[in-house]
Chains A and B, each alone.
Chain A
Amino acid sequence: MLIRLESVTKTYPMGVQTISALRNVSLNIEEGAFIAIAGPSGSGKSTLLNILGLIDRPTSGRLLIDDREVSGRSPDDLAALRARSIGFVFQTFNLLPVLTAEENVEYPLLQFRELKAKERRERVAHFLEVVKLQAHAKHRPNQLSGGQRQRVAIARALATQPRVILADEPTANLDHRTGTRSLRLMRRINRRNGTTFVFSTHDPRVLEIADRRVDLEDGAIARLGVRTRDTWSYAAERAPSVTGD
């Protein structure tokens, strides 16, 4: 099992009150899955994605990657694990504005001392080719369109060859056509490379191409769906796991 959540809860203090963002969430994500986490605003999609991405910690419960408990690890250990295992595609792309497209893709690779400059450059060129942005390698983010920025963000996420890529509302800041193209690109990468993708979304187009869905309501899993041809078949409500292909 690539990632396993066991009875994860997340609460935030807000004044004198405590807000529950996630309630007793248990979930299994297998290698190669293409999963959409769906739900209305405030349902806990982003919180769940943050915990899966190791940039937030559960208040209680366990998070396991490759069957190893990671939620209690030190910040530096988590950073190292993020660097090698997890890629992010942020809703607002979050490219570093002073770097060109290729430098943005190269940036996370600079942490890998074992990677020589030549290998790094080759890898960057390869993933820019995957997202069809070779011609814009020297462009800075402010010289790129929204769709191009997202493709740079996808190439950056792919460059470290992570186990899973987490994409937060990937179509929210793109026009309809560009959003559809981006989704197809990610689906293609998923099928070709077996890279696991987890999306948070409320865009029906994402749900259309996902093969698993996790519906959240008020921080809890309302239902888990598996695509069977053109329809979703739902497991029992609040079922414990969803698996990949």
Chain B
Amino acid sequence: MLLSIAVRNLTRQRTRALLTLASVGFGVASLMLAAGFIDDILAQLRDATIHSQLGHFEVFAPGYVDAGRREPLAHTLADSRTAIAALRAIPGVTTIAPRLSFSGLLSNGRTDATVSVEGIDPVAEHAIGTAMTTIAGNPLGAVSGPAVVVGDGLAHTLNLRVGDSVTVLASTRDGALNTLDAPVAGVFRSPFRDYDERAVRISLRDAQDLVATDSVNSLAVLLRSDASVDEAVAAARQALPAARYDIRPWWSLADFYEATASLYRRQFVVLLTIVAVMVLLGVANSVNMSLHERQAEFGTVRALGYGAGAVFRQIIVESALLGVAAALAGIVLGLLLAWGISAIGIDMPPPPNSDVGYRAAIRVSFPNVALAAAIGILAAVIGAVLPARRLARMPIVDALRHAI
């Protein structure tokens, strides 16, 4: 009967109940939208990070990640062929891209720039680098013979066009200088501006010839699914001894992603707190007004022999019911809005360190929906606690003075 009475009491003041329901429901829907929007931004950033540079995980020689960028040729993989064979045996691995990275100079004959040279396997990189776009000319694998592709920032700095001849200058492992003369086959753009301002890509074979090595710095590994990174990394660590291979999942290498995700998470916590407080105050106000009008009713209930706890429970059950109804309404509203907004799309400007804008959507996920609903219900319940406590403790004779 407690539930039945609670439902009847909620429908007694329809306008007020609907307004409270709307305020909680809008709170739930807005949390769903905010969480879904942030999830989409982070998912797109994650995809861009994985599919432009890092793959799902990378295999390095020990010490390369911390010190190897200064001396890349001193930190090459001891036996990349064995490592590649072991990695191919791991379930879910689709692509393995060997890379040889080092610093050098790129000259157009008139001026030069310090660049980061990457020797790559064009076919493997094409599979990994779906977030990289060739904006002029061709990708590296489409031309025969020595060729370079450059980031659009670098092309702009050196005023390079497709077909221009350039010289790549680098030091061999023994300290001798070596050069590679090749035409610019294409210009690419990745989601990361600072990368595009210094990146030169040549074939792995040309890179190995340039610095006189037959080894590589890293193996970037792409998996079939984003969800199986942990398992694949664990399998790789089991297959490849830690003394010779340093295996890192993508997120431990993606400082920008981690910083951005951390920023958005904090923003979401602030937003969540604001919405929760607003909903809580709205509910507290509504419950307060409602209880003020029902003081005599609760005085009567207590005079009939019910204890203060029963009155408290009755009020909390009513608020919890309202919270549940509002959360359900908020979920429906949130789903409709998420669907509508995603269908239209939200045009986003390029994020920091990028020249590429994107279209955001609202990602609906069960954890986000559950979190938003839980916040709505909790706020409704917590909003009722103080008024319920006050009324439950009110002297019966005082409560009865407000005649029904």
Contact = CB atoms under 8 A, between A and B. Distances in A.
A157 B178 CA distance: 105
A160 B397 contact: no
A79 B305 contact: yes
A238 interface: no
Contact of A108 (B9, B304, B307, B396): B304
B314 to A, nearest CB: 11
B263 interface: no
Given A50-B397, A98-B9, A98-B12, A82 B404 contact: no
Contacts of A95: 404
Please provide the 8 A-B residue pairs with the shortest distance between their CB atoms, ordered closest to farther: A83-B305, A98-B8, A55-B396, A94-B300, A92-B403, A108-B304, A79-B307, A82-B305
Interface string B144-179: 000000000000000000000000000000000000
B397 A55 contact: yes
A75 B404 contact: no
B5 interface: yes
Interface string B290-325: 000000110111111111110000000000000000
B327 to A, nearest CB: 23
Contacts of B5: 96, 98-99
A91 B400 CA distance: 11
A79 B312 CA distance: 15
A84 interface: yes
A107 interface: yes
Contacts of B302: 55, 79
Nearest to B6: A98
Contacts of A91: 403
A110 interface: yes
**Majority secondary structure of chain B interface residues (helix, strand, loop or mixed):** helix
B388 to A, nearest CB: 16
Contacts of A99: 5, 8
Given A75-B308, A88-B304, A97-B404, 4 more contacts: A56-B397, A90-B300, A92-B403, A108-B304
A53 B397 CA distance: 10
B350 interface: no
Nearest to A87: B304
Interface of A: 50, 53, 55-56, 75-76, 79-80, 82-84, 88, 90-99, 103, 107-108, 110-111, 156, 160
A29 to B, nearest CB: 19
Given A94-B404, A97-B404, A98-B12, A88 B303 contact: yes
Interface size, B (range): 20 to 34
A105 B186 CA distance: 88
A79 B306 contact: yes
B395 interface: yes
Interface of B: 1, 5, 8-9, 12, 296-297, 299-309, 395-397, 400, 403-404
Contacts of A108: 304-305
Contacts of A98: 5, 8-9, 12
Contacts of B299: 94
A11 B304 CA distance: 25
A107 B302 CA distance: 12
In the complex, which of the residues B12, B303, B306, B396 has the most CB atoms of chain A within 10 Å of its own CB atom?
B303
B305 A92 contact: no
Contacts of A55: 302-303, 396-397, 400
B397 A83 contact: no
29 contacts: A55-B302, A55-B396, A55-B400, A56-B395, A56-B397, A76-B307, A79-B307, A80-B305, A82-B303, A83-B305, A83-B306, A88-B303, A90-B400, A91-B403, A92-B404, A93-B404, A94-B297, A94-B403, A96-B5, A97-B297, A97-B404, A98-B9, A98-B12, A99-B5, A99-B8, A107-B304, A108-B305, A156-B304, A160-B305
B330 to A, nearest CB: 26
Contacts of A50: 397
B303 A53 contact: yes
B396 A111 contact: no
Contacts of A96: 5, 297, 300-301
A99 B12 CA distance: 11
B306 A111 contact: yes
Contacts of B308: 75-76, 79
A179 to B, nearest CB: 18
Contacts of B404: 92-95, 97
Contacts of A75: 307-308
A14 B395 CA distance: 16
